[in-house]
Amino acid sequence: MVTIKQVAKEAGVSVATVSRVLNNNGYVSQEALTNVKSVIEKLNYKPNSVARSLYNKTSNMIGLIVPDITNPFFPELARAVEDVAMIYGFKVVLCNSDQEPEKEKKYIDLFKQQYVDGIIMTAHSYESEIYTDLNIPVVALDRIGNTTLPAVVSNNYTGARKATDLLLQKGVENIAHIRGPRGVAPAEDRYRGFIDEVNKKNADYIIEESSFQLEGAEKKAREFLRAHTDVDGIFCSNDVIAVGVLKEALKKGIKVPEELQIIGFDGSFFGKMIYPELTTVSQPIYDMGAMATRLLIKIIEGNKPEKIFYEMPTTIIERSTTRK
């Protein structure tokens, strides 16, 4: 393997000069710069990034903390983060926190020891304190923890209003909202959007609460459809709940969308795998991940971003669980 010494010798400069070229800091004459760069290319020198880490206290690594990569929202996010990171020469360390503060702390300790350059976190609101006194740049994604942190979120509130409005426009007379868990920020925002829209329209409504997981959602849907046979339109707080409702409705022989219209939230890929296909409020998951990564890298590189809070628009994808 070619060493920095060999590069310096071949270029006829000091090791310190090569180091300045590699790290892009300190004065280097134009001549030396051109010379060193051509030698690096000629010898196919690959700077030892661990040594550079130690010297620069950077590692070209981004830590990505998700609750659980198997939750359908996060693979697309992770993919976007990795795609953008790679363009800028950063690697992505994947961490599943299960939203346990202990695990998150452990990861953050590791990140510090390893000179991780920045963190993208998608954590629960109540654990955000551990991010605020870090010396590492952090961008919050999706489930925003603390509003003083740079963040990229989707417009959950507006998306929920649009979904509710669509159901009412499509002739729903007895509307319901199956909301997500209390205290989870997106679930709260979607709930507020629903409430404000039905109140604006003076519509009666029913609220039910479910977990964001399939098993809980199916159970809740079963009870709900038994208890509320007159409900003809349900806005569900995420796509998984919507799938639970759809499955239970089909099992009971309820015609979707003729007798019951359903809208989910997220725009997950499995909305297209079911039949009838799910109408949903789509979040630009990939764009959110890409935007968060670009924002983080901007901060890592010492540039002041124009703004540190991005709210990305949601769009309704009308498929077959709502009427034409």
> What 3-state class would DSSP assign to 91?
strand
Query: Counting contacts by CB under 8 A, is residue 135 touching its own copies?
Result: no
Question: How far is Cα 244 from Cα 233, in angstroms, rounded to an integer?
Answer: 14
Q: Are 320 and 279 spatial neighbours (Cβ–Cβ below 8 Å)?
A: yes
Query: Counting contacts by CB under 8 A, is residue 227 touching its own copies?
Result: no
Query: Counting contacts by CB under 8 A, is residue 59 touching its own copies?
Result: yes
Please state the φ and ψ torsions of residue 60, each to the nearest 5 degrees.
55, 35
Query: Counting contacts by CB under 8 A, is residue 50 touching its own copies?
Result: yes
| Rounded (10°) CA dihedral 86, 285, 106, 189 | 150
Q: Are 176 and 210 spatial neighbours (Cβ–Cβ below 8 Å)?
A: no
The residue range among 50-58, 141-149, 154-162, 291-299 that interacts with its own copies, by the rule CB under 8 A, is 50-58
Question: How far is Cα 197 from Cα 192, in angstroms, rounded to an integer?
Answer: 9
Q: Are 170 and 323 spatial neighbours (Cβ–Cβ below 8 Å)?
A: yes
Count of residues engaged in binding its own copies, rule: CB under 8 A:
49
Token pair in block for residue 73:
């929202």
Query: Counting contacts by CB under 8 A, is residue 93 touching its own copies?
Result: yes
Q: What angle do CA 253, 232, 323 make, to 5 degrees?
A: 85
Residue 72's closest CA among 236, 219, 266? 266
Query: Counting contacts by CB under 8 A, is residue 214 touching its own copies?
Result: yes
Minimum distance from residue 233 beta carbon to its own copies (Å): 20
Contact pick of 51, 87, 207, 227 for its own copies (by CB under 8 A): 51
Residues 241-280 that bind its own copies (CB under 8 A): 243, 246-247, 250-251, 269-270, 272-275
Contact letters (x/-) for its own copies, 94-133, by CB under 8 A? xxx---------x--xx-xxxx------------------
Residues found near its own copies in the complex (CB under 8 A): 46-51, 53-54, 59, 61, 64, 68-70, 72, 74-76, 78-79, 82-83, 86, 91-96, 106, 109-110, 112-115, 214, 240, 243, 246-247, 250-251, 269-270, 272-275
